[in-house]
Amino acid sequence: MLRGAVRQAAAPAAVLGLATLLSAGAGLLLPAALGRALDLLLARDPGAGRHVALCAALICGAAALDAVADLLGGTTAARSTAYLRHRLLRHVLAAGPRVTARTAPGDLVTRLVGNTADAAAAPATVATAAATAAGPLGAVAALGIISPWLAAAFLAGAPLLFLLLRSFARASGDCAARYQRIQGDIAGRLAEAVTGARTIAAAGTAGRERARVLAPLGGLSRQGHRMWRVQGRAGARAVTLVPLLQITVLAVAGVLLSGGRISVGDLLAASRYAVLATGIGMLTGRIGALVRARAAGRRIAEVLAVPPVRHGGLPLPPGPGTLELRGVGAVRDGRPVLSGIDLVVPGGTSLAVVGRSGSGKSVLAALAGRLADPDTGTVALDGVPLPALSHDALRGAVGHAFERPALLGATVGDALALGVTDPGREAVVAAARAACADGFVRRLPEGYDTPRAAAPLSGGEAQRLGLARAFAHAGRVLVLDDATSGLDSPTEREVGRALAHDVAARTRVVVARRASTAARADRVAWLEDGRLRATGPHAELWHLPEYRAVFGAD
Residues in Cβ contact with 19 at an 8 Å cutoff, skipping those fewer than 6 apart? 65, 68, 69, 72
- Split at pLDDT 50, 70, 90, the class of 324 is very high
Is the domain of 331 the same as that of 299?
A: no
Is the domain of 224 the same as that of 341?
A: no
280 pLDDT more than 60: no
- Split at pLDDT 50, 70, 90, the class of 374 is very high
In a domain, 312, yes or no: no
209 pLDDT more than 70: yes
Mean pLDDT within 336-352: 92
| Structural contact between residues 89 and 112, judged by C-beta atoms closer than 8 angstroms | yes
Beta strand 398-402 with 477-481: parallel, antiparallel or unpaired?
A: parallel
Dihedral sign for Cα atoms in the order 412, 414, 418, 421: positive
More confident residue, 234 or 425: 425
φ and ψ at residue 527, rounded to 5 degrees:
-95, 140
Is the domain of 151 the same as that of 228?
A: yes
Q: Give the span between the Cα atoms of 341 and 83, in whole angstroms.
A: 43
Lowest-pLDDT range of 42-56, 116-130, 332-346: 116-130
Mean pLDDT within 509-514: 88
Query: 122-141 burial string, b = 16+ CB within 10 Å, else e?
Result: bbbbbbbeebbebbbebbbe
DSSP structural state of residue 82: H
- Split at pLDDT 50, 70, 90, the class of 279 is low
Is the domain of 394 the same as that of 492?
A: yes
79 pLDDT more than 80: yes
Which tens digit of pLDDT belongs to each residue from 377-390? 999 999 999 999 99
In a domain, 156, yes or no: yes
More confident residue, 393 or 490: 393
pLDDT score of 285: 64
In a domain, 318, yes or no: no
In a domain, 316, yes or no: no
In a domain, 386, yes or no: yes
Residues in Cβ contact with 234 at an 8 Å cutoff, skipping those fewer than 6 apart? 164, 167, 168, 284
Is the domain of 215 the same as that of 360?
A: no
Is the domain of 68 the same as that of 131?
A: yes
In a domain, 309, yes or no: no
More confident residue, 205 or 199: 205
In a domain, 176, yes or no: yes
Please, what is the Cα angle at 439 between 435 and 444, to 5 degrees? 120
Is the domain of 242 the same as that of 333?
A: no
- Split at pLDDT 50, 70, 90, the class of 282 is low
Mean pLDDT within 453-468: 84
Residue ending a domain, among 253, 276, 304, is 304
pLDDT score of 505: 67
pLDDT score of 553: 61
554 pLDDT more than 60: no
Q: Give the span between the Cα atoms of 135 and 184, in whole angstroms.
A: 38
Lowest-pLDDT range of 164-173, 188-197, 201-210, 432-441: 164-173
Residue ending a domain, among 248, 275, 304, is 304
Residues in Cβ contact with 280 at an 8 Å cutoff, skipping those fewer than 6 apart? 133, 136, 137, 158, 161, 165
User: What is the separation, in whole angstroms, between the first and last Cα of the chain?
Assistant: 59
325 pLDDT more than 90: yes
In terms of Cβ atoms closer than 10 Å to its own Cβ (0-12, 13-18, 19+), residue 174 is middle
Is the domain of 203 the same as that of 351?
A: no
In a domain, 108, yes or no: yes
Lowest-pLDDT range of 59-63, 288-292, 370-374, 400-404: 288-292
Look up the CATH number of the domain holding residue 461.
Answer: 3.40.50.300
Is the domain of 354 the same as that of 212?
A: no
Q: Give the span between the Cα atoms of 549 and 537, in whole angstroms.
A: 16
pTM summary value: 0.72
Lowest-pLDDT range of 146-155, 342-351, 401-410, 485-494: 485-494
Is the domain of 240 the same as that of 127?
A: yes
Mean pLDDT of the chain, nearest integer: 84
Q: What percent of the chain has pLDDT over 70?
A: 93
328 pLDDT more than 90: yes
What is the span of the domain harbouring residue 404? 323-550
Is the domain of 365 the same as that of 258?
A: no
φ and ψ at residue 352, rounded to 5 degrees:
-100, 130
Residue ending a domain, among 275, 304, 333, is 304
> Which one of 341-345, 407-411, 416-420 scores highest in mean pLDDT?
341-345
Look up the CATH number of the domain holding residue 175.
Answer: 1.20.1560.10
- Split at pLDDT 50, 70, 90, the class of 346 is very high
| Structural contact between residues 188 and 106, judged by C-beta atoms closer than 8 angstroms | yes
Mean pLDDT within 516-533: 91
> Which one of 4-18, 220-234, 245-259 scores highest in mean pLDDT?
245-259
| Structural contact between residues 535 and 343, judged by C-beta atoms closer than 8 angstroms | yes
What is the total count of domains within the chain?
2
Mean pLDDT within 120-127: 82
- Split at pLDDT 50, 70, 90, the class of 523 is very high
Is the domain of 362 the same as that of 407?
A: yes
Mean pLDDT within 46-58: 88
